[in-house]
Amino acid sequence: PSPQLVSLLHGKLNTLIGKSSGYIENLPEDVKRRIHGLNYYQSEHAKLEAKFQEEILALEKKYLKLYQPYYEKRSKVVRGECEPTEEEIATGASLYELEKSEREKEKQAQEGDPTIEKNKDVQGDPTTDESKEVKGIIEDSCKGIPEFWLTAMKNLVTISDNITERDEEALKHLNDIRISYLENPGFQLEFEFEENKFFSNTLLVKTYYYQEEPGYGGDY
């Protein structure tokens, strides 16, 4: 079973063990003693889980500092404040072609015929309807990468379904998303917008606090 399922079962077991429903009280004494033993095991498991989450948080903070230079470069490119170097562009283009080739192979495998090429020209043809739509939005001489964050979020399955048409209009003006950790267990998300008609403030901040004990799903 997955770690999430195991954690869920452990958490549920813990609540059942501590719950007085008359069931445990009516069990034979030997069985009750075994259940008390399980309760001890669960308490020790909870201590390890808390330590595990603390170490994950420490790693997240460590790597956020390592990620930061790339986040800052990305932000400047998206805003149009700087351009990537020729080396960065060449490497990125190679990665894009590799990913594109992998997607095409995966699609052909799913269709069950590796010789299928009917979509090959369409995917790379700038005259397709989708490409025409994008070209109509983004001009050749545009600054930075227009609607970068809106496009990124619409391609993120976990949140795309929650984005409404009204949200899209506001998110077109989103310049950057940043995360920072709090002294107490928790973090802040900062959403920085260019001036727009939707918000009087260009910086919106959402604060999250971690719960003291891991939840049943292993989250904290």
Q: Tens of pLDDT along 108-124?
A: 888 876 555 555 444 44
CB-based contact 191:204 (threshold 8 Å):
yes
Pick the range with the lowest mean pLDDT from 14-18, 55-59, 138-142: 14-18
CA distance 192 to 201: 9
Whether 71 and 65 have beta carbons less than 8 Å apart is answered as: no
| Of 46-55, 70-79, 96-105, 126-135, the least confident | 126-135
Distance of CA 111 to the CA centre of its chain: 29
pTM of the model: 0.70
Rounded mean pLDDT, 144-162: 94
Worst-scoring range by mean pLDDT, 73-82, 85-94, 149-158, 205-214? Answer: 205-214
- The segment with the largest mean pLDDT, out of 38-52, 106-120, 139-153, is 38-52
pLDDT at 195: 94
> Are 220 and 52 spatial neighbours (Cβ–Cβ below 8 Å)?
no
123 token code pair:
């995917």
Q: How crowded is residue 108: how many other Cβ atoms within 10 Å of its Cβ? A: 16
What pLDDT shows up at residue 122?
Answer: 44
